[in-house]
Every structure is written in C-alpha cells, then in structure tokens.
Amino acid sequence: MTLSITRAGPAELDALSQLFDAYRQFYGQPSDVERARQWLRERLRFGESVVLVARRGVALAGFVQLYPMFSSVRTAKTWILNDLYVDAGARRSGIGHALLEAAADFARADGAAGIALETAQDNAAARALYRAAGWQEDATQWYSLAF
C-alpha cells in the first residue's frame, strides 16, 4: 500500500485526534479524545505547530508535530520535533523513518538551521530509529522546571 505524507489541515482533525490521544496514552496520560482534538485545533488554527501526517491508503498511520524555536546564537529559526507517533498496527514498516525525513525536508524548505528533539533514555526503539535516520545524540543535559 502506498504511503503519503502531507501537512495536516482541518479535514484530518478527527482522525488525527484519535492518533494524538493514543500517543498521549503511550506516555501515561488518560484517554481524552476531545482534549486531544482541542489541543490540535488550537495549535493548527493559530499556526503554533506544524503536523505532518502519514497516510496508508485513506487511513492515518502516524504523525509528527513540530514547534518553531529560534536560536539567538545561530540567529536562525529551528524546529523542535516534539511528537512522533506511528499507530501500533503500522509500526516497523518504515513510517517513522519516512516521517523523520518529511520533517527534515519541511525544516530545510522553511530555511531552518536544524531540528532538535528529546526522548527518554530508556526509549530504545525511538533512539534506534533516530540514529538509523542519521540523527546525532549528544551529552547535553536537559533541565526542567514544572509548574
């Protein structure tokens, strides 16, 4: 079956909300499709993120969500790859890799200096995917302050 990747728009919101809800559940959040839908609707409506969706036939099989960021040192726009998810039934079929390539193509076309992401150290599957796609791990320590 042919894989296509496009930028998400209002027509994909319902199906994308289901995938986004599954993504949130993967990270231990309770299911709340309406909350997922509202979050995505606001990000897309106000141009606060870019979501690329992978489609096999007519069904959505995965997505990647990017948020803009700016580097003062590089005086350039960069993107944060914040969310990457492939439906459980579609994993290990190259969709994650294709979404990473599409995200990189988007960022290059946007004139960005690069893309950054962060994942848990124990997320071996994701780390292997990123390395296989040419991403570099570094020893930067991230700190967070939760409110």
Model pLDDT, residue 132: 87
Report the distance separating Cα 138 and Cα 5, nearest Å: 29
DSSP E strands in the chain: the ranges are: 3-7, 50-56, 59-71, 76-86, 115-116
Report the distance separating Cα 52 and Cα 40, nearest Å: 12
Report the distance separating Cα 40 and Cα 85, nearest Å: 14
Share of the chain above pLDDT 90, in %: 67
Domains of the chain: 3-132 (3.40.630.30)
Instruction: Evaluate whether 97 touches 84 at the Cβ level (below 8 Å).
Output: no
Model pLDDT, residue 124: 83
The rounded mean pLDDT for the chain is 90
Residue 141 banded pLDDT, cuts 50, 70, 90:
low
Model pLDDT, residue 25: 96
Per residue in 91-137, pLDDT (tens digit) is: 888 999 999 999 999 999 999 998 988 887 788 888 888 888 888 87
Residue 143 banded pLDDT, cuts 50, 70, 90:
low
Helix (H) or strand (E) holding 145: none
| Contacts (Cβ under 8 Å, ≥6 apart) of 91 | none
Question: What is the mean pLDDT of the segment spanning 51-73?
Answer: 94
Question: What is the mean pLDDT of the segment spanning 28-46?
Answer: 96
Report the distance separating Cα 117 and Cα 82, nearest Å: 6
DSSP letter at 130 equals H
Mapping DSSP to helix (H, G, I), strand (E, B) and coil, where does residue 135 land?
coil
pTM over 0.85: yes
The answer on pLDDT for 1 being more than 90 is: no
Question: What is the mean pLDDT of the segment spanning 39-50?
Answer: 95
* Max Cα-Cα span within the chain: 45
Residue 140 banded pLDDT, cuts 50, 70, 90:
low
